[in-house]
Amino acid sequence: MSNLDKFAAAINCIDGRVQAPVAEWLKLHAQVQYVDMITEPGVDKVLTAGGIRQTASIAEKLKISIDAHGTSTVAVVGHFDCAANPVSFEEHKTQIEECVNTIRSWADNLRVIGLYVNEWSAVDVIYDSDSEFEEMNSYL
């Protein structure tokens, strides 16, 4: 499969304001052409405080992306002004970090990235399993 056919997946909120920034960031930084969107309202809260059924449903959808599209990079996303998860940035960051650990437990060979879309629609990197950094990086 060439880079032009490569997929990543984003476990993202349903909020339409965050779809494009996340997809564009993944295309650029994961070097893929397509992004499978797996959406739930306030997905970072769902994966940390939701029920087993919701978490299993997200895991099943990610498995489809991996099996059908060869996805090897997955991002989990929280965002500013989330109606379903109206918490502080610090709480989103904590939830995203927990989500990363959950997703990493589903498959060993995935690049897992934790992202936060801030009030300027810029993408902040909370965690990237392929990078070592001490501070959060922000991308416009």
The CATH number of whichever domain residue 45 belongs to comes to: 3.40.1050.10
**DSSP designation for 5:** G
Longest dimension (CA), the chain: 41
Q: By the 8 A CB rule, do 45 and 27 touch?
A: no
Paired with 125 in beta bridges are 115, 137
CB atoms near residue 79 (< 10 Å): 26
pLDDT value of position 69: 97
Residue 111 structure tokens: 């690049």
Q: What is the pLDDT of residues 84-133, one digit of tens each?
A: 999 999 999 999 999 999 999 998 899 999 999 999 999 999 999 987 55
Pairing between strand 73-79 and 34-39? unpaired
Q: Bigger pLDDT: 139 or 56?
A: 56
Query: To which H or E segment does residue 127 belong?
Result: strand 123-128
Q: What mean pLDDT is predicted for residues 12-37?
A: 97
Domain count, the chain: 1
pLDDT of 14 reads 98
Is the pLDDT assigned to residue 5 strictly greater than 80? no
What pLDDT, on a 0 to 100 scale, did the predictor assign at position 138?
57
**pTM of the predicted model, to two decimals?**
0.91
Q: Which domain holds residue 61?
A: 3-139
In angstroms, rounded to a whole number, what is the distance separating the alpha carbons of residues 132 and 80? 25
Task: Tell me how crowded residue 92 is: count the other CB atoms within 10 A of its CB.
Answer: 25
Confidence check: pLDDT of 140 > 90:
no
Look at residue 2 in the predicted model and tell me its pLDDT: 54
